[in-house]
Amino acid sequence: MATGIRVIVHSETITMIPIDNSTLLLTAFRLRSMLSDFIDCLILASAINHCDALVTEDDDIKDLKNDAGFKSLCTGTNPRFGIQTLIETI
């Protein structure tokens, strides 16, 4: 696991997103009412604001796919964003 983290931290192809970004934090705080784990809120907020998809097997995050509040948040922030499982990407 430590090797994987080192690769991520030192990779030139992976963009680091500062967690003190006000837009990201605003999204994370909105997600807080939907997710109990604030770290998950930060990860998901980063993905919503900077990606088209988040691939995850986290049940709490996957359950948001059908949540009306989550859909509204994504529509207003990044309408192309979606949550996928690994099998859905194949």
Tell me the average pLDDT of the chain.
92
Q: Where are the domains of the chain?
A: 20-89
pLDDT more than 70, % of the chain: 99
Using the Cα atoms of residue 31, residue 37, residue 39 and residue 44 in order, give the sign of their dihedral. Answer: negative
Q: What is the pLDDT of residues 20-39, one digit of tens each?
A: 889 999 999 999 999 999 99
How high is the pLDDT of residue 33? Answer: 96
User: 34-62, pLDDT tens digit by residue?
Assistant: 999 999 999 999 999 999 999 999 999 99
- Contact call for residues 73 and 30 (beta carbons, < 8 A): yes
